[in-house]
Amino acid sequence: MLRDGAEHLPAALAAAVTDQLACNRTIAALRRYSLITKHDDSFSIHRLVQLVTRDQLIEDERLQWAEVAVRIVNQVFPFESEDPRTWPICEKLLPHAQAATEKGERHVDADATTRLINQMGMYFYGRAQYMEAKQAFERSLRIGEAAFGPDHLNIAIRVKNLGNVLEALGKLSDARQCFERALRIYTAFLGEDHPNTVKVGNKLKSLG
């Protein structure tokens, strides 16, 4: 994950994770001081070490690293996270995604943050964890509206996904309002014949 997201890291750290020899030396040094524990395909950091490290950062540094974390996890979190075939990797990444987005509503890359929270919502939706999905979609939508405005194209998919979970929860009136809003946005940006517009239109028809 760190290697794939090296472009988002400071130069010195990026060099350490992309060069295998340098990476091995760095991990060995951290292990010598018991700052990390290495496992077969990952490593862990004791909660106290995490807490001390974060407490030593000034606020600007915390936000900077929060943004780095969001971008890296967002880059690797599966797109089709509602698909059971992606669930093993989603399950591993979920705690990282939740931790990375803790500061997501305060000056952190809104595009990456809303996308990552939305994909967490899709994971919950696929697993029929509808209340968790609803909370994720609502949060993604709230951050997106604050960053891009209520009628931005990016908002349409968030509203549609919220409509889907509201429908699953039996809140059909609320779901219809979401689909109507998504339809307006898609029609304005993509036109009446675009597949996304047609799909939402068909969803509205199915609700009656």
pLDDT per residue, tens digit, the chain (208 aa), is 888 889 999 898 999 899 999 999 999 999 999 999 988 878 899 889 989 988 999 988 888 888 999 999 999 999 999 999 999 999 999 999 999 998 656 667 899 999 999 999 999 999 999 999 999 999 999 999 999 999 999 999 999 999 999 999 999 999 999 999 999 999 999 999 999 999 999 999 988 7
CA dihedral over 64, 65, 66, 67, signed as positive or negative: positive
Return d(Cα 13, Cα 139) in angstroms, integer: 31
Return d(Cα 140, Cα 123) in angstroms, integer: 14
Return d(Cα 32, Cα 119) in angstroms, integer: 37
| 3-state SS, residue 38 | strand
Return d(Cα 131, Cα 109) in angstroms, integer: 26
Q: How many CB atoms lie within 10 A of CB 153?
A: 13
CA angle 201/207/208 to nearest 5° reads: 95
Indicate yes or no: pTM above 0.85: yes
- 150-208 is classed CATH 2.40.240: no
The interaxial angle of helices 153-168 and 110-126, nearest 10 deg, is: 20
| Residue whose pair of structure tokens reads 């307006």 in the numeric block | 184
Which 8-state DSSP code applies to residue 35?
Answer: S
Return d(Cα 66, Cα 39) in angstroms, integer: 24
Beta bridge partners, 38, equal 43
CB distance 4 to 11 below 8 Å: no
Q: In which region does residue 109 sit, left (phi positive, over 0), alpha (psi from -120 to 50) or beta (all else)? A: beta
Q: Which two tokens stand for residue 160?
A: 């549609």
